[in-house]
Structure 1
Amino acid sequence: MAEPQRKAELLPEDIGTDDCLTSYTHIYSPDLLKDHVAFITGGGSGIGLRIAEIFMRHGCDTVIASRNLDKLKEAAKKLSAVSGRRCLPLCIDVRQPESIAAAVDETLKELGRIDILINNAAGNFLCPVTSLSFNAFKTVMEIDTMGTFNTSKVVYEKWFKDHGGNIVNISATLGYKGQALQVHAGSAKAANDAMTKHLAVEWGPSGVRVNAVAPGPISGTEGFRRLGGPRGEAAGAFQSIPLQRAGNKTEMAHCTLFLASRASSYVTGAILVADGGAWLTSANDVSMLLGIASSKSAKL
């Protein structure tokens, strides 16, 4: 008797560029975030842009915030055109609380509220510790960890404290077992995971939920390219992942949508690992990683 054919899971639509999807199939109600407002750091490209798009396709108005205002303006036009929702591009530096405060004030003036904060701004690259400059380590910690704290605190004090809200931090699995070339990002994301739990405990009584999504290798992102994803994919490295593939940006947006919506109304302090099982099984090939590392000191 022939073995039954394995049923292939239908993956959500995605594209490799920082453009909007040409088609989209709703897996949740299109009104799931109707009339909500989301403030998304690092929202002009990659996972952040796709989160903004998927939120807007579910009825949400958004703020996309980062340091590159020209890129944000271009992204905002595309996002509004495809969704019919408002998208406000704002220039901020998450390392500077005063710039965050100004952006939050502008958001409240223009959109009237903030229901969701997505802390997505991050920086990463491959570098051995011996070549990692003190400033490079400090900069990643400032963007990833201090940036998450700064933005969360400002939004809480200006809105969430009195109105409740929802925070989703975009994390990573890098610190779960230790990995060569990633001491900077792994340390920053481990701190963010702890921060997620602490904030969930302290801010829960104010009606604020705080959770995180920890992606694995996600195609079509700058991080995927910087961290050797295309090379690993071509070499068959992803065969060690239980789902045997990289994830896509829309899948990460769906995880974030779940945590940011009433679908997860009793979930807080949770880290949702969305990596196809990669961190459980993928080899930590130190020799290979050190072999592809640059010998030059990393500078940011």
Structure 2
Amino acid sequence: MTADFADDLLKGKRILITGGGTGLGKSMGHRFMELGADLIICGRRLEVLEATAQEFKQAFGRTVQTIACDVRSAESVESMLDDAWWNGKVDVLVNNAAGNFIAQTHKLSSRAIDSVLGICLHGGAYCTTGMGRRWIEANRPGTVLSILTVSALMGAPFTVPSAMAKAGIEAMTKSLAVEWGPKGIRLVAVVPGSFPTEGATSRLTPAGSATSSHEGIPLRRTGKHIELANLCAFLVSDLAGYITGETVVIDGGSRYLGGARGGVREMLNWTDEDWEKQRASMPVSRSAQVTS
């Protein structure tokens, strides 16, 4: 099922997506290209970006620019934005890159905290201010779309750094919508609920959890990537030209139940042994560590 958008809804727009090679970023990019946009995707793994770009070229017959970038590094972000900017105009920035995992907060190492804040908070701020500066200096309008989490609005145990970081990006969205509004720059945010992806599922699903992925969702299902992509396409299009500073939630109504993410109630009662099993089950991360 797809929304009844005009095929050229995003024609003429050049869209930069951070973390655009996999997961929700890839799904958004696919939909944006279906609607006529030209695409730039960045991420840490160039081989992943190039594989996605090749898929899109075969599907749409248009080249996708790929740029290796670690958004935790201000220097890397500036280099990436230079590459994107000088290869053609950029109309839309999508702050999608993210990092998260479940852990007992009091056992997080400083490196683990910095890893999440570096991607989700610093990276989003570096990309947004860098792109905004270029738009303002060139006297061009632009749109920033940031992908948040429900924890940014409600808080969340066991994923505290991510909640902190995404709440900061929401504050940035509201603040810059006012500051940059006179410059013709819009900022909007989207809060997805449960939209399963391989990366997020492997890091955020409690080991051995018996909790159904549909529990706590009034619509009794997880979201479809096309549903999120359609919402994002609308928000970055000219149809939403009078919307700025807003955060739109797409979660099947789950937050209104006050329900924490599936498995959280179980985790509140976990023993140290349960947490050890969880740590052992998680994919190895080179940049995020939890103290023992």
Pairwise TM-score range, normalised by the shorter structure: 0.7 to 0.9
Counterpart check, 1:29 vs 2:6? yes
**Does the aligned pair in 2 maintain the 1:196–1:212 contact within 8 Å?**
yes
- C-alpha distance in 2, partners of 1:66/1:51? 15
Deviates more, 1:125-134 or 1:69-78: 125-134
Q: Is structure 2 residue 86 aligned with structure 1 residue 109?
A: yes
Alpha carbons of structure 1 residues 166 and 160: separation in structure 2 relative to 1, 3 Å: farther
**What is the identity, as a one-letter code, of the residue corresponding to 1:165?**
G
Aligned length: 275
Alignment of 1:78-157 (within 5 A): 78-110=55-87, 112-157=88-133
Tell me the distance in 2 between the aligned counterparts of 1:170 and 1:195.
12
In the alignment, what sits opposite 1:289? Answer: 267
Check if 1:209 corresponds to 2:199. Answer: no
- Structure 1 residues 207 and 244 mapped into 2: Cα distance closer, same or farther (>3 Å)? same
Task: State the alpha-carbon separation in 2 of the partners of residues 160 and 122 from structure 1.
Answer: 26
- Distance in 2 (alpha carbons) for counterparts of 1:237 and 1:52: 26
Q: Given that residues 123 and 143 in structure 1 are in contact (C-alpha distance below 8 angstroms), is that contact kept between their aligned partners in structure 2?
A: yes
**What corresponds to 1:199 in structure 2?**
176
Letter in 2 for 1:147: G
Cα distance, 1:79 vs structure 2: 1.2
Query: Is the 8 Å Cα contact of residues 3 and 230 (structure 2) preserved in structure 1?
Result: no
Alignment deviations for residues 232-255 of structure 1 (CA, whole Å, 9 cap, x no partner): 6x7435242111111122211111
Question: After the TM superposition, which of the residue ranges 203-212 and 79-88 deviates more from structure 2?
Answer: 79-88
2:255 paired residue number? 279
Q: Which amino acid aligns with 1:90?
A: I
SS in structure 1 at match of 2:120 = helix
| More divergent stretch after superposition (206-215 vs 167-176) | 167-176
Amino acid across the alignment from 1:266: Y
Task: Find the partner of 2:167 among 190, 193, 202.
Answer: 190
Question: What amino acid is aligned across from residue 233 of structure 2 in structure 1?
Answer: L
State the distance in 1 between where 2:255 and 2:166 align.
15
Q: Distance in 1 between matches of 2:184 and 2:73?
A: 26
**Secondary structure in 2 aligned to 1:169?**
strand
Residue aligned with 1:195, SS: helix
Answer yes or no: is the 8 Å Cα contact 1:216–1:276 preserved in 2.
Answer: yes
Q: CA deviation digits over 1:70-97, x for unaligned, max 9?
A: 1101111101211223310101111222
Aligned CA RMSD, in angstroms, stands at 2.2
**How many Å separate the matches in 2 of 1:226 and 1:47?**
15
Whether 1:176 and 2:153 are equivalent positions in the alignment is yes
* Structure 2 counterpart of 1:77: 54
**Shift of residue 35 of structure 1?**
1.7
Separation in structure 2 between the aligned mates of residue 214 and residue 221 of structure 1, nearest angstrom: 18
Q: Secondary structure at the match of 2:152?
A: coil
Query: What is aligned with 1:59?
Result: 36
1:10-21 matches, cutoff 5 A: 12=1
Q: Contact 1:67–1:91 (CA<8 Å) still a contact in 2?
A: yes
Secondary structure (helix, strand or coil) at the match of 1:176 reads helix
Higher mean alpha-carbon deviation, 251-260 vs 170-179, is at 170-179
Q: Tell me, what secondary structure is at the counterpart of 2:180? A: helix
Q: Distance in 2 between matches of 1:169 and 1:147?
A: 11
Distance 1:183 1:252 in 2: 24
Question: Aligned partners of 1:160, 1:142: CA distance in 2, in Å?
Answer: 25
Query: Which residue identity lines up with residue 32 of structure 1 in the other structure?
Result: L
Shift in Å, 1:149: 0.6
Runs (5+) with no aligned partner, structure 2: 281-287
User: TM-score by structure 1 length?
Assistant: 0.85
Q: Structure 1 counterpart of 2:218, which letter?
A: P
Deviations along 1:202-229, one digit per CA (max 9) or x if unpaired, are 1111100000000011123411332118
Cα distance in 1 for residues equivalent to 2:35 and 2:208? 35
Q: Displacement of 1:296 after TM fit?
A: 5.1
Q: TM-score, normalised by structure 2?
A: 0.87
- What is the aligned partner in structure 2 of residue 299 from structure 1? 289
Q: Deviations over 1:246-290 (max 9, x none)?
A: 112221111111110012111000001011111111533654024
Which letter does structure 1 place at the counterpart of 2:225?
Answer: K
Aligned equivalents of 1:142, 1:126: Cα separation in 2: 17
Partner Cα separation in structure 2 for residue 227 and residue 122 of structure 1: 13
Residue identity (%)? 34
